[in-house]
Chain A
Amino acid sequence: MSLVELQLDGLRRRYGTVTALDGLSFDVPAGEVFGFLGPNGAGKTTAMRAIFGVTALDAGEIRWRGKPVDEQARRQFGYMPEERGLYPTMKLAEQVEYFATLHDMDDRAAKKAAAYWIGRLGLSGREDARIDALSHGNQQRAQLAVALVHDPELLVLDEPFAGLDPGGVDDMRQVLEERAAAGVTVLFSSHQLDLVEDICEAVAIIYQGRLVTYGPVADLRRGDRPRLAVRVGGDPEGAWSRSLDDELGEVEAIRPGGTVLISLTNGGDSQRILDLARAAGPVEHFAFEARRLSEVFRAVTGASVGQAEAEHAASMAGAGRAAAGVAR
């Protein structure tokens, strides 16, 4: 990973009886698209709000370029919160310009930058439209323009892909990659782990306010024990795998149709597994296969993303009023 510019160090935050952040620490490198992942309720939004001082921390520190984040540093950050917020009756261009001026741009520079981003995000011709007259998708583009207009050094986006159509996802992804390529630190959150695994280069996955795994996506998906997918013709049950030696590998699952997923043991020889399969019949499929990030999540937490979110929803309902204000 390249130069680290943003550091989250030992963040703790409780809301009444609910622990949102429980000693969360990780570093975000500059120049690549970094995913901040975890099920709903894991503490992502609380951590992102803390970067902007919008949520106070009980303990911990957030550093930007080695120094605790202060007001001045924050003006060089761009933020797109999960719950989008723009003035509904204000005109698009005025609104984007207004947020630019709030980030230390003078009127002229703000005008120019707003015009650029409105064009870049495909909103040309709608400069004088009120925000509430824009379509849902265009409102999201407007929100992104507000986050980008002052050319921030750090871009933080909370669930930027939520509610986007496939075209919108592609556009968003392009913009994030472009900013990262320009050397900007790009941190975005998502609870849809599998949906964004191709979008980010590195991730931090959190659960219950703690970091559970961290690193380049490619490494995480391969894991310590690479996964082999093997299918033998005429064996829809994958029966051949029963003879697999524990020293070689372990059967993770058998897919309908007979594809057997095997975690290779350390130093396990894939070619010996191939021999074993060929002995059982014609090998139709034999390949290393990356795990989905949701599988990585389950492997390290023992819970599926869906279970984790259901548990969170139940605990929120239980915590009732005390939990009001807890963000995801």
Chain B
Amino acid sequence: MTWLVARRELRQRGRSRAFAISTAVLLLAVVLGVALPAILSRNAKPERVGYVGAVTPAVSRLIEQAGQIAETKVVVVQQPDVASAEAALRSGDLGVVLVPGSKVLVKQVSQGGTNSGTLPNALAQLAGLERLFAEVPAAAAAAAHGIALPVHGLEAPSSSLGSRLTGLFTVVIVWVLISAYGGQIAMSIGEEKGSRIAEVLLSSLRAVQLLVGKVVGIGLLALAQVAAMVVAFVVAGLASGSSLVHGAAINIVLVGAVFAVLGYAFYCTAFAAAGSLVSRQSDVNSTIMPVQLPLIIAYALSYTVIYANGASTFYLVLGFLPPTAPVAMPVLYAAGDVPPWQVAVSAVLCAVATVWMARVAAGIYTRSILRTGARVRLKEALRQA
């Protein structure tokens, strides 16, 4: 019986234009989010670096290293003399010119001087070191084992901005999915109650069967979308050669997927109970607002974690509270503020709370679904046997 209810939801909703469009939009967002940066960086033109004099392997290596520091691809173009190099610079044929032992030329120095990390700056520093080695043989020997000193952090490494943004992107989707599908549950129960279909249904079904069938049916659709988005993430990442699928980001996406499922499970019955309190479908929005509140808070505060070093204690607590965990935990994980075992603990807490929520919500739903007249007050729905 429960499956018949779920099957109806699957068929009616799965075929609807709204489902097709929302799936397409979400997949497109994932594909663009993953592939676009990778494609843009791959298709970026290599910087043409002029070198006045003969280009030896050592020169090539030096310029390539500068390119690595500046995170751009470089092509070395040999220049006969400074004058022709300058001409090429002016015409835009070259981006930067290295005059060995003398200077780095650019067309125009940006205001405030060259920033560290840019190609001219990296070139200038590496070429400067090269000159130092040439003039002080002892320095060259000293540098043979590496020029730079290692950097040690006092605390565990923090996540890269890329990971954090992946985390933000993931929780936006988790939040949208739970709210959208939860809203659908509440609306459709409001419809069944408002139009009295519930009475016909409940003449042959138990209320719990109707409730479970509905949340399972709608949940399967949500799950299908989550799975499609994860697959799209991986496929788009591999196809575009994005670094996201190799690094920490894939774990963040998987944690997000797990919490999307847990969050749906936790919230679906709560949304159902909220929908059962109304007498007209148009009242649904006001009863689901309190249900959505914890998610909205967790989502709004997630920005304080994404752009900060270390989460506040308050947000860490949110990460373990079942109503806020589905959004808060993936954010904390993405920011590197919690170890995996804490993610697991939060997931277990959320799963346990889901069982509790399902019991309470099913009770409210069963008592409210056939009550007509004024909106049922939550207190009454909880109290009445």
Contact = CB atoms under 8 A, between A and B. Distances in A.
Contacts of A53: 202-203
B205 to A, nearest CB: 6
A94 B11 CA distance: 10
A55 B198 CA distance: 12
Contacts of B191: 87-88
A86 B202 contact: no
A98 B204 contact: no
Contacts, number: 70
B16 to A, nearest CB: 9
Interface in A90-120: 90, 94, 98-99, 101-103
Contacts of A167: none
Contact of B199 (A54, A99, A101): A54
B373 interface: yes
Contacts of B1: 102
B195 A99 contact: no
Nearest to A98: B8
Contacts of A54: 199, 202-203, 370
Interface in B63-120: none
Nearest to A327: B372
B231 interface: no
A298 interface: no
B45 to A, nearest CB: 53
Given A98-B4, A102-B4, A85 B198 contact: yes
Interface in A59-85: 71, 74-75, 77, 79-81, 83-85
A81 B196 contact: yes
Nearest to A91: B12
Contact of B195 (A75, A88, A102): A88
Contacts of A90: 12
Contacts of B197: 85-87
B360 interface: no
A328 to B, nearest CB: 11
Contacts of A230: none
Interface in B177-205: 191-192, 195-205
Given A86-B195, A88-B195, A99 B200 contact: yes
B151 interface: no
Contacts of A55: 370
B61 interface: no
Interface of A: 49, 52-55, 71, 74-75, 77, 79-81, 83-90, 94, 98-99, 101-103, 146, 321, 323-325, 327
29 contacts: A49-B199, A49-B370, A54-B199, A77-B204, A79-B199, A81-B196, A81-B199, A81-B200, A81-B203, A85-B195, A85-B197, A85-B198, A85-B199, A85-B200, A87-B191, A87-B195, A87-B197, A89-B12, A99-B204, A101-B4, A102-B1, A102-B4, A102-B201, A102-B204, A146-B200, A324-B371, A324-B372, A324-B374, A325-B372
Q: Report the 5 A-B pairs with minimum CB-CB distance, sorted nearest first.
A: A324-B373, A85-B196, A85-B197, A52-B203, A83-B196
